[in-house]
């Protein structure tokens, strides 16, 4: 049984590592990504009895069906930095890296078409009610989940736990509008309000979104760690130190 559950917001850390790669292309983004993950885990403290879950985005979010404006600006914003082909290539490098990483690390990667990392983080936080749940992300949206007594958010920027005084206030402000998600107008009708709440509320998701994730979590396997098979020698050594494998 896991002592605690640590959820990594894969998309957040991946994009931080990609932007670091833009500034220094000599260091692969996948290497920087793993360094970021391990730095957070080291600060938090981890044992082989803890469960680490990598929450991933996959495909077109169900929220874009609810509201076409949702994150509609993100693609153009990315391509204002680098063109489409550049992003396609760097995302492929991550996909190729995960094919080598996932079979050999004792972390669970969860993804399903149409679901965002936020969906998984929401569901995992509410699934493991008897465990301490630590979310690694600087995404303010996830601060809502601190309304749950077992949940804390660890910032990969400050390397500290966030002090969230009013988690429900985060949700209320999101319903009113959020520039980062391109939800620019306040809801004008009750129907608008309910749709917006459905999109931004991480304390409760639509049943048809929650149930498939519950099914996955009910059958989430315990994985073995094969440290010597992990990509990058220095990452292998850091993993061994992190889990105290040489002691």
pLDDT given for residue 76 in this prediction? 85
Both tokens of 160, joined, read: 């500290």
Q: pLDDT value at position 70? A: 86
Tell me whether residue 186 is in a domain: yes
Whole-angstrom distance, CA of residue 197 vs CA of residue 44: 32
Report if residue 230 sits inside a domain: no
* Domain assignment of residue 138, yes or no: yes
Provide the mean pLDDT of the chain: 94
Assess if residue 228 is contained within a domain.
no
Residue 241, domain member (yes or no): no
What per-residue confidence (pLDDT) applies to 2?
Answer: 60
Asked if the structure places residue 235 within a domain, the reply is no
CA distances from 233 to 20, 100, 189, 194, 228 (A): 21, 13, 57, 50, 8
Is residue 139 within 8 A of residue 118, CB to CB? The reply is: yes
Q: What's the number of domains the chain is made of?
A: 1
CATH number of the CATH domain containing 113: 3.40.50.1010
Q: Does 243 reside within a domain? A: no
Residue 233, phi then psi, degrees to nearest 5 = -60, -45
- pLDDT per residue over 12-22, tens digit each? 999 999 999 99
- What does pTM read for this prediction? 0.94
**pLDDT tens for each residue of 181-233:** 887 788 889 998 898 999 999 999 999 999 999 999 999 999 999 999 999 99
Domain span at 13: 4-220
Instruction: Provide the β-strand partners of residue 183.
Output: 178
Below-50 pLDDT ranges, the chain: 1
Instruction: Please give the pLDDT value at position 1.
Output: 47
Q: Is residue 131 part of a domain?
A: yes
């Amino acid at each position: 049984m896991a002592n605690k559950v640590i959820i990594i917001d894969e998309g957040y850390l991946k994009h931080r590592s990609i932007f670091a790669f833009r500034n220094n292309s000599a260091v692969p983004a996948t290497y920087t990504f793993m360094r970021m993950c391990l730095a957070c885990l080291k600060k938090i403290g981890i044992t082989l009895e803890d469960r680490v879950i990598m929450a991933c985005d996959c495909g077109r979010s169900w929220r874009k069906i609810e509201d076409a404006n949702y994150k509609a600006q993100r693609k153009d914003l990315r391509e204002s930095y680098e063109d489409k082909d550049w992003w396609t290539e760097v995302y492929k490098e991550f996909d190729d890296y995960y094919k080598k990483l996932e079979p050999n690390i004792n972390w669970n990667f969860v993804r399903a078409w149409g679901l965002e990392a936020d969906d998984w983080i929401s569901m995992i936080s509410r699934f493991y009610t008897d465990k301490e749940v630590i979310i690694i992300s600087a995404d303010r949206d996830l601060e809502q989940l601190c309304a749950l007594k077992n949940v804390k958010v660890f910032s990969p920027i400050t390397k500290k736990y966030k002090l969230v005084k009013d988690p429900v206030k985060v949700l209320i402000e999101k319903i009113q509008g959020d520039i980062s998600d391109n939800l620019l107008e306040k809801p004008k009708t009750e129907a608008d309000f309910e749709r917006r709440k459905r999109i931004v509320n991480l304390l409760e998701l639509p049943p048809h979104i929650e149930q498939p994730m519950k099914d996955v979590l009910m059958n989430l396997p315990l994985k073995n760690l094969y440290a010597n098979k992990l990509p990058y020698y220095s990452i292998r050594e850091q993993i061994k130190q992190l889990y105290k494998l040489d002691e």
